[in-house]
Structure 1
Amino acid sequence: MTYASLADLTERAGDAEIRQVADRDRDGTPDPEVIAAALEDADNTVNGYVGAKYALPLSSVPAVVVTWAVSIARYILHRNGAPDHVREDYKDAIAALKDVSRGLIALPVEVGEIPPTTVNGTVMSAHPDPVFTPEKLRGW
Structure 2
Amino acid sequence: MYCSVQDLIDAFGEKELVSLSNRDVPGSVVNVDVVNKAISQAQAEIDVYLEGRYPLPLASTPIILQQISQDLTRYFLHTRIDDDHPVSKRYHQRIRLLSEISKGKCSLGLDVENKVAQTADTVQIAPGRSVFGGRDW
- Indicate the TM-score class for this superposition, using the shorter chain for normalisation: 0.7 to 0.9
Name the count of aligned residue pairs.
Answer: 113
- C-alpha deviation, 1:41, in angstroms: 0.3
What stretches of structure 1 move > 4 A for 4+ residues in a row? none
Question: What's the offset of the Cα at 1:80?
Answer: 2.3
**How far has the Cα of 1:27 moved from its partner?**
2.9
The equivalent of 1:108 in structure 2 is 109
Question: For residues 67 and 52 of structure 1, what CA distance do their matches in structure 2 show?
Answer: 21
1:94-105 aligned at under 5 Å gives the runs 94-105=95-106
Match of 1:64 in 2: 64
Q: CA offsets per residue over residues 33-58 of structure 1, 9 Å max, x none?
A: 10110000000011110111001001
Task: Please list the CA deviations of residues 60-81 of structure 1 after superposition, one character each: whole Å capped at 9, or x if unmatched.
Answer: 1000000000000000000122
Counterpart-to-counterpart distance in 1, 2:17 and 2:92 = 20
Q: Secondary structure at the match of 1:106?
A: coil
One-letter code aligned to 1:4: C
The equivalent of 1:8 in structure 2 is: 7
In the aligned structure 2, how far is the partner of 1:85 from the partner of 1:12?
15
- Structure with the bigger percentage of helix: 1
The TM-score, its normalising length taken from structure 2, stands at: 0.76
One-letter code of the match for 2:92?
Answer: K
CA deviation after TM superposition for structure 1 residue 7, in Å:
1.5
Amino acid at match of 1:113: N
Matching residue's letter, 1:68: I
Question: What is the rounded CA distance, in whole Å, between the counterparts of 1:11 and 1:89 in structure 2?
Answer: 18
Question: How much does 1:8 deviate?
Answer: 1.4
Q: Which residue of 2 aligns with 1:19?
A: 18
Larger mean CA deviation between 60-69 and 25-34 belongs to: 25-34
Distance 2:81 2:65 in 1: 24
Structure 1 length-normalised TM: 0.75
Cα root mean square deviation, aligned: 1.7
Which letter does structure 2 place at the counterpart of 1:10? I
Please list every run of 5 or more consecutive structure 1 residues that lacks an aligned counterpart in the other structure.
115-140
- Rg comparison, structure with higher value: 1
Cross-structure match for 2:49: 49
